[in-house]
Amino acid sequence: MKAEELVSAGMQRGRASASARPAPLIRRLGVTDYATSWEAMRRFTAERGAGTPDELWVLEHPPVYTSGIAGRSEHFPRTSSIPLVRADRGGQITYHGPGQAIVYTLVDLERRRLTVRGMVVLIEQAVIETLAQCGVSAETKTGAPGVYVEGAKIAALGLRVRRGGCYHGVALNVDMDLAPFSDIDPCGYPGLAVTQTSAHGVAAGVQELGEALARRIAQLLEVR
């Protein structure tokens, strides 16, 4: 699927009245190439209008490393056949692959009166509450965005803001091959332990958890 096909439906729906604050739309995109998704997010943000509904994209990526704008090469893979993409989000390097639930948050921060930090806190809260529904106790760490279980990172996030709207989002490890994380310094932290929901007795799969997380993000956006 091409980037323009990913955004066209949203743009058609986005001709609503600018005076309203439409509820976020959740779109289920399945397994989608990272570069295609990234291009579509940038296009959506560039073309959205004052009345365009926010969108939450639930998807998975084929194996790929991505690095934020401040990414430093000393954290990159030593040797790997997995491609690395330098993206325009915040944060350092992370890994995406099958079995990881990704929710991209295309949100008009100005319309919702949210700061970037406020959006980060909202996403982290949504992850923690979604995991709590599965019986998993999670927490945040001061100065280290993301969500952790017993000291190991289970969800990473990074955002980009343009024209008052944010894109990129959060990646929740569900049931995936964690080995590629060992070839990098995840999120710029050497030796950072990484975990996933399947290691904590959660039977729900990647699609179920991705949709549950997107719904919780949408709910938290609406109650602001």
Active site residues: 187
Residue 12, both tokens: 């058609």
> Between the CA of residue 217 and those of 56, 127, 133, 158, 165, what are the distances in Å?
8, 8, 14, 15, 16
Q: How far is CA 141 from the centre of its chain?
A: 18
Tally of CB atoms within 10 A around 118: 13
Give the chain as a 3 state SS string.
Answer: CCHHHHHHHHHHHCCCCCCCCCCCEEEEEEECCHHHHHHHHHHHHHHCCCCCCCEEEEEECCCEEEECCCCCHHHCCCCCCCCEEECCCCCCEEEECCCEEEEEEEEEHHHHCCCHHHHHHHHHHHHHHHHHHCCCCCEEECCEEEEEECCEEEEEEEEEEECCEEEEEEEEECCCCCHHHHHCCHHHCCCCCECCHHHHCCCCCHHHHHHHHHHHHHHHHHCC
